[in-house]
Structure 1
Amino acid sequence: MLAVSIAYILAFFLTHYLFYPLQLKIIPEFDSLANLLYLPHGVRVLAAWLLGWRSVVAIAAGAFVSQNLLFEQPIWDFNFFGVFFIGIVVAPLAFSLLKFAKFDASAREENPPCWQCVMVVGIFASLLNALLANLVLGTLTIDFLGYLVGDVSGLFFLVLILMLVFRQMRAWGY
C-alpha cells in the first residue's frame, strides 16, 4: 500500500510540476485548472483494478499529501474534502458498478490482464470523477472536459508504459 501512495504522489507531482506548466505554454488559451495529462487517475484506476476497495486506503495517504501540499487547505474545507473523497473512491466505485452490470474487469489470477477492459472502467471512472468534481466545485463545462481528457490520457499513458515494461520483461525472460 505504501508503494501505491508513493506512486500517486510521484504521479501527482510529475503532473503538476512538469506536465501542467508545459500545458500552459503549449495551450495558453485553455483557461482551466484541469490537467490534460493527469497521471494520478491512472494510478487510481490501476490500484483499484489490483486492490479493489482496499485501494481507497492505499490512495488516501498519497492523495492527502499531494493535495495538502499543493492547495494548502485544511481537510475540513468542503471543496478540499469533496474532491479528495471523490478522487479516492471513484475508481473502485466504477469497478463495482460495472461488475454489478455484468462487466467484471477486476484483476484475477486465472485471467490475463485485459488492458482494454481497464481502459473502459477508467473512462467510466473519469466520467464519474469529472461529473462529481464539477458538482462539488461548481466549475464550468470546459473544466469537465478538461478533467475527462486529463484522466483518460493519464490512464492511457500509464497503461501504455506498463504494457511496454511487461513486454520487455517477457523478452528478458522474467
Structure 2
Amino acid sequence: MTSGLVMPLQKIFAPQLPIVFSLLFLPHGIRVLAVYFLGWRGVLYLIPSSYLMWAISVYGSSIDLAILGPLASLSVVYIAVRMVKTFTESRSTDAFRFSWKECLAIAAIASVFNGIVLSILHGSSFNWILIIGYSSGDMAGQIVLLLLLIAFMKISRKLSKFI
C-alpha cells in the first residue's frame, strides 16, 4: 500500500520532498504492534518482510536506502517498547492487554529514533529534513493504522451480531 498508493500520490502532490521517506508509512504501525505484543520475537519475525520491502524499494523504485536500515528500524522500535514498558511499569503478562496510549508513546519515541538513525545511515550526518520526514511519516502511519484497526473492530462487532 505504501509503495503502490502512498508514494505515487506523494510524488504527485509533494514532488519537492525526498523520495527516501513516505509521509504515511503504515509499516511503522505494524512494527510497533508486532514488537508491542511479541517482544523481541516480533523483531525476528519482521526481519524477512522488512528486507523484502527494502529490496523492493531499492531495486524496484531506485531509492537509495542503507542496507542496515530495516534492522535499525526494528531495533529502535524494540528499544522504544522497552523504554515505555519500563517507565509505565507495564509488566502485564496478558498477551491480549492493549493500551493505545502506550502504543502511541512507543510509536512517537521510535519514530524520532528511527528518523535520526536512518538520517545518519543515509548521509552520515544529521539531516533535519530527513529526520522530520521519517518521524512524521512513521507517526502518521501509526495513527492511521490504529484508526483502521478501530474501524475494523467496530465493523466486526456489528457483523458478529448478525451472524
TM-score when normalising by structure 1: 0.79
Alignment of structure 1 residues 6-85 onto 2, 5 Å: 14-72=1-59, 79-81=66-68, 83-85=69-71
Hey, what's the Cα distance between the residues in 1 that align with 2:103 and 2:91? 6
Residue pair 1:94, 1:124 contacting (<8 A) in 2 also: yes
Aligned to 1:104: 90
Q: What one-letter code is carried by the residue in structure 2 that aligns with 1:79?
A: A
Q: What one-letter code is carried by the residue in structure 2 that aligns with 1:27?
A: A
Number of residue equivalences: 154
Equivalent position SS for 1:173: helix
- 1:30: Cα distance to partner? 2.3
Q: Structure 2: give runs of 5+ residues left out of the alignment.
A: 60-64
Equivalent position SS for 1:37: coil
Equivalent position SS for 1:34: coil
Aligned to 2:119: 134
Aligned to 1:119: 104
Of residues 146-155 and 26-35 in structure 1, the stretch that sits farther from structure 2 once superposed is 26-35
Hey, what's the Cα distance between the residues in 2 that align with 1:149 and 1:132? 14
Hey, what's the Cα distance between the residues in 1 that align with 2:93 and 2:5? 31
Equivalent position SS for 2:44: helix
- 1:103: Cα distance to partner? 5.0
Describe the superposition over 1:28-81 as per-residue Cα deviations: whole angstroms up to 9, x where unpaired: 222452110001101100111111111111110101111123214xxxxx9312
Change (3 A) 1:149 1:143: same
Hey, what's the Cα distance between the residues in 2 that align with 1:26 and 1:150? 15
Hey, what's the Cα distance between the residues in 1 that align with 2:140 and 2:103? 13
Aligned to 1:86: 72
Identity fraction in percent: 26
Residue pair 2:111, 2:138 contacting (<8 A) in 1 also: yes
Hey, what's the Cα distance between the residues in 2 that align with 1:64 and 1:86? 11
